[in-house]
Amino acid sequence: MITWDELERDCKACQRCALWETRTNVVFGVGNREAEVLFIGEGPGRDEDLQGEPFVGRAGKLLDEMLAVIGLDRTKIYIANIVKCRPPNNRDPLGIEQDECINWLRAQTALIRPKIIVCLGRVAAARIIKEDFKITAEHGLWFQKGKCWLTALYHPAYLLRDGRKKPEAYEDLRGLEAKIKEICEKTY
């Protein structure tokens, strides 16, 4: 099996799709590499591309606040994205870009072996949970694949645009907290 260092080195040298041509940094992932909970977003934005770390802009600050509500922080979880390079103008990553990049995430997931995967937003949920995922109808619901439990939350960037969804998001966080307490041994 590949090591974390080998995986990160190879990922940062990736040129499988056109996104590498406009990136400043590959945004590999951050957090506890032995985490029981893996958060997955769609792809880096401008701030993430500049700093080389996922969720560091306004949406990242909101994510940190959301995590704090249930007693989590970046030292207890791992955060990654479907694609590791910023799509131009923060557009959704194209299917071909996701297809070329997904094996990096699969390798990260294999190394972590999380008990829970939390998809942040529709794009991640459609790729990870099920193709026809409807975020407005299915956020906060639980799905099981093998030994892993999956759920999706509204993307923090979406919550910044539509604050009316925050009560639902915080209810979903409470559901996540309950699931963590139910099946995780070392997260708290």
pLDDT tens for each residue of 88-137:
998 999 999 999 999 999 999 999 999 999 999 999 999 999 999 999 99
Give the domain ranges of the chain.
Answer: 4-181
Contact 85, 12 (CB under 8 A): no
- For the chain, the average pLDDT equals 96
- pLDDT of amino acid 91: 93
Residues 46-57: tens digit of each pLDDT: 999 999 999 999
Residues 139-153: tens digit of each pLDDT: 999 999 999 999 999
Strands 30-31 and 78-81: antiparallel
- pLDDT of amino acid 28: 98
Question: What architecture is the 4-181 domain classified under in CATH?
Answer: 3-Layer(aba) Sandwich (3.40)
Residues 2-41: tens digit of each pLDDT: 999 999 999 999 999 999 999 999 999 999 999 999 999 9
pLDDT at 187 over 80: no
- Tell me what the mean pLDDT of segment 61-84 comes to: 97
Residues 149-183: tens digit of each pLDDT: 999 999 999 999 999 999 999 999 999 999 999 99
Please give the DSSP secondary-structure letter assigned to residue 170. Answer: H
* Residue 32, CA distances (Å) to 78, 130, 186 in order: 5, 26, 12
- pLDDT of amino acid 186: 80
Strands 143-145 and 148-153: antiparallel
Contact 41, 155 (CB under 8 A): yes
- pLDDT of amino acid 188: 63
69: Cβ–Cβ under 8 A, 6 or more apart, which residues? 170, 173
pTM comes to 0.97
β-bridge partners, 118: 39, 151
Contact 57, 136 (CB under 8 A): no
- pLDDT of amino acid 1: 80
- pLDDT of amino acid 27: 98
